[in-house]
Amino acid sequence: MSTTPTVTPRPMKYVRPEVANGKKIVKLCRTDRMIGAIQVLTHGGETNLHSHAHSDGLWFVLSGRVRFYGPEDNVIGEYGRYEGGLIPRECPYWFEAVGDEIAELLQVEAFDKSIPDDKTLFADRTDYKPRSRTASTMIDAAS
């Protein structure tokens, strides 16, 4: 009797989408316990002050510059290529691209409970300020 799990690795590939303004999110991979994505940001692609009850987020800049803020717009850090930070669950934050270059931001979220889909993921979010009217587009590269 074999005890080898029946799960399989999932290859992925990233191609930067065209972004005129705002942001696009390229979903790289997902399980019920984590998600990997790359957010492509221009001016106007910022997010609002929010937190996640059940996810710890690793944010890592691949290109451009991104500034992260906490409550009261206190700067958590400004990061360039190959820099980033960890945002633990329950920690309020928001971020924006800074400078003239398009920013590519690797996002890896790990969950402490099963979050099987995007609807459940967004329900896990607490918004402290209204979301921006700037549209973001989700591109699923994990299929």
- Residue 44 covered by a domain: yes
Tell me whether residue 139 is exposed, middle or buried, using C-beta atoms within 10 angstroms of its C-beta: 0 to 12, 13 to 18, 19 or more.
middle
- Residue 9 covered by a domain: no
Domain with residue 100: its CATH number is 2.60.120.10
The one-letter amino acid at 63 = S
Residues 6 or more apart whose CB falls under 8 angstroms from that of 31 comprise none
Query: For the chain, how many structural domains are there in total?
Result: 1
Assess contact for 23 and 136: CB atoms under 8 A: yes
Residue 81 pLDDT > 80 = yes
Handedness of CA 44, 35, 76, 49 (dihedral sign): positive
| DSSP H or E run through 119 | helix 118-123
Residue 114 pLDDT > 90 = yes
- Residue 135 covered by a domain: no
Confidence (pLDDT) at 3: 74
Question: Which tokens in the block code for residue 139?
Answer: 């591109």
Per-residue confidence band for 90, with pLDDT thresholds at 50, 70 and 90: very high
Over the stretch 25-62, which tens digit does the pLDDT of each residue have?
Answer: 999 999 999 999 999 999 867 889 999 999 999 999 99
Structural domain span for residue 85: 23-129
More confident residue, 13 or 132: 13
Residues 6 or more apart whose CB falls under 8 angstroms from that of 62 comprise 38, 81, 82, 104, 105, 106
Residues 6 or more apart whose CB falls under 8 angstroms from that of 105 comprise 38, 39, 40, 41, 59, 60, 61, 62, 64, 66, 84, 95
- Residue 139 covered by a domain: no
Confidence (pLDDT) at 129: 82
Confidence (pLDDT) at 109: 96
